[in-house]
Amino acid sequence: MIYFSNIKISSILLVIFIALMFAIPNFFSKDQLNSFPSFIPKQQVNLGLDLQGGSHLLLEVDTVEIIKERLENLNSDVRRVLKKNNIQYSNFKNTDDNLKFVVEEFPTEIQKEISELSISNSQNILQMGDQTNLVILREENEVSISFTDEFVKLAVSNAVAQSLEIVRRRIDELGTREPSIQRQGSSRIIIQLPGIDDPDRIKALLGQTAKLTFQLVDTSTNYDPLNPKKAPVGSEILPSDADDSFKYIVKKRVMVGGENLVDAQPGFDPQTNEPIVSFRFDRLGASKFGRVTQQNVGKPFAIILDDTVISAPVIREAILGGSGQISGGFDSDEANDLAILLRAGALPAPLIILEERSVGPDLGADSIEAGQYAAIIGFVAVILFMMFVYRYFGFLADIALIINLFMVLGILSLFQATLTLPGIAGIILTIGMAVDANVLIFERVKEEIRSGSKMINAVENGYKRALSTILDANITTLIAAIILFFMASGPVRGFSITLAIGIFTSVFTAFTFTRLLISIYAKSLKPSLVGMKIND
Amino acid sequence: MIDIANTKIDFLKSRIITFIFSSILVVLSFGAFFVSGLNFGIDFKGGTLIEIETENEIEIAGLRDNLNSLSLGDVQVQEFGSKNNLLIRVEQQSGGDQIQQNVVEIVKTSLNSYLSSEVNFRRTEVVGPKVSGELIQSGAIAILAAVFAMLVYIWFRFEWQFSLGAVVALIHDVILTIGVFSITQLEFNLPIIAAILTIVGYSMNDTVVVYDRVRENLRKHRSKNIIDLLNLSINETLSRTIVTSVTTLLALLSLFIFGGEVIKGFTFAMIWGVVVGTYSSIFVAAPLLNYLDVKREWNTTSAVDSTR
């Protein structure tokens, strides 16, 4: 006998009921939902960026740059040590991951002094204890100095964490709706921006490291376009933001940096009505700024952003209040963005955009519409076909299919999984494949009837015999879905999710719901009702 | 009313013919793959893809010439679903990831000035060389991993002869799918990998159902000739195979016709895969068991007993 205890029946119905409750909100608008009683869930399926419109950006922190910059800092320290100890060196050069030079002799004391140098060079953020973070190798006369793997890992990891924070601040400043900013792997950042289909402004904001420095202009010489390569020792040549043909020679020493800023706001110069950014320093920054401006009245002071001179106004008087303003011939949007960048802080290394995928809102809406349309037509076709082949059993399988779809929707809503366009395809595929479990059972039942079993025994044996086949068959598809889930990201991952959910719900409904329905009617069923010829 | 019960088709009679047929298809697929290769989309090749919509019809040739004069390398322009929708593909620029970003801006500026009517940018995708390299690698690994996982699973649930037969059929399906994409030169992108993985799952599903029955019959009819036994098993599961394939195809066809342009390639791959997968379960996987010397003495109380 196919016997269902009352507890079993109630729990099957309860599971289905709960799934239905969670599916229901998807058929109503947000406003309608708010007028519903509180016991009805209000969560709708979470739509992927390809359906609601939005932008996906994959960024990578330029880790080579981080190490390169640290090596450059190390460069001058090592030279100083060598000079101090009267060591003759030649061919001193920086590569991407080490320093190299040639020496005649290289005593161990010097080697030790350089190793110790690295501890103070860790720049406080990196707590490495007393251990040196340098690897010093000597091969014949060539010495190469590089950072230890641990140090590199730590430096990169810190830079990525810091970048993540700054990216978050910059995007938050723009007031984007529910952005998602996540770290991926060791050096990548994924940004999801719902509702933004043209991320140009965000890309521009993220494309700048926004390193702000104030440096004195070197007035001892003028930039000579005919002999452009030479800058006096301790100075550098930097391009001008406003005029491509003009270059500044500025002293390398950074007098005050952006890290001392506490605020930056866009505004307008009251006299010229030109857009400006006004800023305020913290106490340390204010005192440094005050001292420099006091000592250099009458000299030009360069405001430098990412190695480009924005402007170099002449200091008219000492600025002791700790605040000032930047005007550089920009428009109000640029002033606004610059203020955002300065408030959010500088990135420790440049960000590289590896991938961008943006979908406009109407393509998303079109996709949803097309998907719904395809789902309904596919659904009706399958339902009619099943009734045609299996008659009464087919009708039961169709009811199970409807419940199945509600369950997929309910589970998606409950777990707030993301529904994407391939995800919709997964649901439609489920419509086609979900009947398989029932088909396997029905075919078994028919075989049993043919071999002379009574209807009720045929149903019971049919279920028993089909069980392992159904499990084997569905596990193979599930394995494929799981592999896809781990390999894919974004929209395609949505497909693996709906496919996997569909497998679970179809096996579940075949073994509980359809079985329950069939068991109720099994006694009264005749072979003709299950799609068999009577004279078979 | 359809009732495909009690068919007695001799599927194995023509096994040599179907093996040759399959071999020819496999060789053709390899040939096409090595001669013309796959038409990789930007997911795997890198580059930029922009889908636009305009109010008026656009003369494609003129637009193509205009975009090709931007010195961005090869720019392809094609109609996408309707006359007002165009797909623009720009090949990957040399010079690393950062350079790719400029393409979108250049193309957008050029489009806005070239086309008099308002342009609606429906979709923009930029994939740099780093990511495309990784995607192609992870796609290949995923397919191999899936096939290997199936091999292990069937080995575990059946025995090695079944596992080998199933995997040969599976590889047959994957090769034929890649082959059809080489021959038609339809765009091969990330969703196609997803489709192939699903085909692997589906084809296996179909094969398992037939194999399950073979195993059961091996127990039931210990003295039956293996060819008759395989034929019996295929015939017994035939109506299920047909019904499930039809419902799956009905759903997929609906998706292909009404589901929009974006997932057409994906749906095409799936439809092809279901047809090929069903064919291979009957004409490749099952007949192969004839040559693999399957075990006849199944222990009826073992863990793999399906009638437990």
Where does the pLDDT of residue A126 fall: very low under 50, low under 70, confident under 90, or very high at 90 and above? Answer: very low
Highest mean pLDDT among A148-162, A229-243, B167-181: B167-181
Q: Choose the mutation target among B249, B250, B266 for the interface with A, i.e. most A CBs under 10 Å.
A: B250
Confidence at residue A343, expressed as pLDDT on a 0 to 100 scale: 84
**Chain B contact set for A384 (CB, 8 A):** none
Token duo for residue A130: 């007393």
Shortest Cα distance, chain B CAs vs residue A453, angstroms: 16
Shortest Cα distance, chain A CAs vs residue B52, angstroms: 10
Shortest Cα distance, chain A CAs vs residue B231, angstroms: 17
Which phi and psi (to 5°) does residue A244 adopt? -65, -30
Confidence at residue A27, expressed as pLDDT on a 0 to 100 scale: 85
Q: What is the pLDDT of residues A177-235, one digit of tens each?
A: 788 899 988 889 999 998 887 788 888 888 888 888 888 888 877 776 666 667 777 78
Domain with CATH 3.30.70.3400 in chain B: 47-127
Considering CB atoms only, which of A58, A472, A483 is closest to B145? A483
Where does the pLDDT of residue B305 fall: very low under 50, low under 70, confident under 90, or very high at 90 and above? Answer: very low
Please give the average per-residue pLDDT across B179-202, as a whole number. Answer: 92
Structural domain A6-53+360-530, CATH architecture = Up-down Bundle (1.20)
Size of interface A-B (CB pairs under 8 A): 245
Is B126 in Cβ contact with A443 (below 8 Å)?
A: no
Structural domain B15-40+132-288, CATH architecture = Up-down Bundle (1.20)
Considering CB atoms only, which of A198, A472, A487 is closest to B121? A198
Closest CA to A518 of A395, A376, A388, A436: A395
Judged by phi (left if over 0) then psi (alpha if -120 to 50, else beta), residue A322 lies in left
Considering CB atoms only, which of B6, B120, B201 is closest to A481? B201
Confidence at residue A347, expressed as pLDDT on a 0 to 100 scale: 85
Where does the pLDDT of residue B5 fall: very low under 50, low under 70, confident under 90, or very high at 90 and above? Answer: low
* Statement: residue B308 has pLDDT above 60: no
Confidence at residue A124, expressed as pLDDT on a 0 to 100 scale: 42
Considering CB atoms only, which of A359, A374, A532 is closest to B259? A374
Is B5 in Cβ contact with A473 (below 8 Å)?
A: no
Please give the average per-residue pLDDT across B216-229, as a whole number. Answer: 87
DSSP output for B112-125:
HHH-SS-EEEEEEE
* Statement: residue A413 has pLDDT above 50: yes
CA distance A482 to A243: 56
Nearest CA in chain B to A203: B101
Q: Is the Cβ of A314 closer than 8 Å to some Cβ of chain B? A: no
* Statement: residue B236 has pLDDT above 50: yes
**Chain A contact set for B263 (CB, 8 A):** 421-422, 425
Question: How do beta strands A418-419 and A46-47 pair?
Answer: parallel
Confidence at residue B169, expressed as pLDDT on a 0 to 100 scale: 94
Which phi and psi (to 5°) does residue A305 adopt? -120, 120
Confidence at residue A382, expressed as pLDDT on a 0 to 100 scale: 94
CA distance B297 to A321: 95
Please report, for residues A123, A204, A326, the alpha-carbon distance to residue A310 in angstroms, rounded to integers and kept in the order given: 28, 17, 8
A62-66, A148-152, A518-522, B300-304: least confident range: B300-304
Q: Is the Cβ of A361 closer than 8 Å to some Cβ of chain B? A: no
Is B104 in Cβ contact with A429 (below 8 Å)?
A: no
Please give the average per-residue pLDDT across A428-445, as a whole number. Answer: 87
Is A496 in Cβ contact with B194 (below 8 Å)?
A: yes
Is A356 in Cβ contact with B247 (below 8 Å)?
A: no
Shortest Cα distance, chain B CAs vs residue A183, angstroms: 16
Shortest Cα distance, chain A CAs vs residue B118, angstroms: 15
**Chain B contact set for A439 (CB, 8 A):** 240, 243-244, 247
Is A371 in Cβ contact with B125 (below 8 Å)?
A: no
Please report, for residues B98, B111, B279, the alpha-carbon distance to residue B265 in angstroms, rounded to integers and kept in the order given: 29, 27, 21
Q: Which residues make Cβ contacts (< 8 Å) with residue A193, sequence separation at least 6? A: A49, A54, A55, A56, A57, A171, A176, A179, A199, A202
Shortest Cα distance, chain B CAs vs residue A475, angstroms: 8
Encode burial over A200-226: b for 16+ CB neighbours within 10 A, e otherwise. Answer: eebbebbbbbbbbbbbbbbeeeebeee
* Statement: residue B306 has pLDDT above 50: no
Q: Is the Cβ of A320 closer than 8 Å to some Cβ of chain B? A: no
Just give the CATH number of B47-127.
3.30.70.3400
The sign of the CA dihedral A241, A242, A246, A252 is: negative
**Chain A contact set for B121 (CB, 8 A):** 197-198, 360
Confidence at residue A229, expressed as pLDDT on a 0 to 100 scale: 64
Q: Is the Cβ of A402 closer than 8 Å to some Cβ of chain B? A: no
**Chain A contact set for B174 (CB, 8 A):** none
Q: What is the pLDDT of residues A438-466, one digit of tens each?
A: 888 888 888 888 888 887 888 888 888 88
Q: Is the Cβ of A387 closer than 8 Å to some Cβ of chain B? A: no
Is A425 in Cβ contact with B255 (below 8 Å)?
A: yes
Percent of chain B with pLDDT over 70: 94
Which residues 168-197 on chain A approach chain B with CB closer than 8 angstroms? 197
CA distance A310 to A516: 76
Is B209 in Cβ contact with A495 (below 8 Å)?
A: no
Is B255 in Cβ contact with A479 (below 8 Å)?
A: no
Q: Is the Cβ of A294 closer than 8 Å to some Cβ of chain B? A: no
Is B122 in Cβ contact with A428 (below 8 Å)?
A: no
* Statement: residue B54 has pLDDT above 90: no
Q: Is the Cβ of A328 closer than 8 Å to some Cβ of chain B? A: no
Which residues 403-432 on chain A approach chain B with CB closer than 8 angstroms? 421-422, 424-425, 428-429, 431-432
ipTM of the complex: 0.87
CA distance A60 to A160: 9
Is B262 in Cβ contact with A355 (below 8 Å)?
A: no
Q: What is the pLDDT of residues A489-526, one digit of tens each?
A: 778 888 999 999 999 999 998 888 888 888 777 666 66
Residues in chain B, overall count = 308
Confidence at residue B246, expressed as pLDDT on a 0 to 100 scale: 94
Confidence at residue A381, expressed as pLDDT on a 0 to 100 scale: 95
Q: Is the Cβ of A473 closer than 8 Å to some Cβ of chain B? A: yes
Return contacts of A262-266, CB within 8 angstroms, 24+ apart.
A263/A343, A264/A338, A264/A339, A264/A342, A264/A343, A265/A339, A266/A332, A266/A335, A266/A336, A266/A338, A266/A339
Confidence at residue B302, expressed as pLDDT on a 0 to 100 scale: 45
Q: Is the Cβ of A436 closer than 8 Å to some Cβ of chain B? A: yes
Percent of chain A with pLDDT over 70: 93
**Chain A contact set for B97 (CB, 8 A):** 60, 352-354
Considering CB atoms only, which of B121, B205, B253 is closest to A477? B205
Nearest CA in chain A to B257: A374
Confidence at residue B71, expressed as pLDDT on a 0 to 100 scale: 80
* Statement: residue B97 has pLDDT above 80: no
Shortest Cα distance, chain B CAs vs residue A235, angstroms: 29
Closest CA to A48 of A409, A348, A492, A516: A492
Confidence at residue A99, expressed as pLDDT on a 0 to 100 scale: 84
Token duo for residue A218: 């070197």
Shortest Cα distance, chain B CAs vs residue A436, angstroms: 6
Q: What is the pLDDT of residues A189-202, one digit of tens each?
A: 999 998 887 788 88
Which class would CATH give A63-154? alpha beta
Confidence at residue B252, expressed as pLDDT on a 0 to 100 scale: 94
Shortest Cα distance, chain B CAs vs residue A480, angstroms: 5
Domain boundaries, chain A: 6-53+360-530, 63-154, 207-356
Confidence at residue A518, expressed as pLDDT on a 0 to 100 scale: 80
Nearest CA in chain B to A378: B251
**Chain B contact set for A197 (CB, 8 A):** 121, 124
A109-118, A124-133, A311-320, A425-434: least confident range: A124-133
Cβ proximity of A321 and A293 under 8 Å: no
Calculate the average pLDDT of chain B: 87
Q: Is the Cβ of A6 closer than 8 Å to some Cβ of chain B? A: no
Count CB neighbours of A356 within 10 A.
22
Just give the CATH number of A207-356.
3.30.1360.200
Cβ proximity of A421 and A48 under 8 Å: yes
Token duo for residue A107: 């005593």
Which residues 36-65 on chain A approach chain B with CB closer than 8 angstroms? 50, 58, 60
* Statement: residue A351 has pLDDT above 70: yes
Where does the pLDDT of residue A536 fall: very low under 50, low under 70, confident under 90, or very high at 90 and above? Answer: very low
Confidence at residue A243, expressed as pLDDT on a 0 to 100 scale: 78
Please report, for residues A155, A500, B29, B58, B177, the alpha-carbon distance to residue A94 in angstroms, rounded to integers and kept in the order given: 18, 53, 51, 54, 51
Is A436 in Cβ contact with B201 (below 8 Å)?
A: no
Confidence at residue B1, expressed as pLDDT on a 0 to 100 scale: 41
Confidence at residue B76, expressed as pLDDT on a 0 to 100 scale: 87
Closest CA to A408 of A536, A340, A313, A505: A505
**Biggest alpha carbon distance in chain B?**
80
* Statement: residue A535 has pLDDT above 50: no
CA distance B163 to A145: 55
**Biggest alpha carbon distance in chain A?**
111
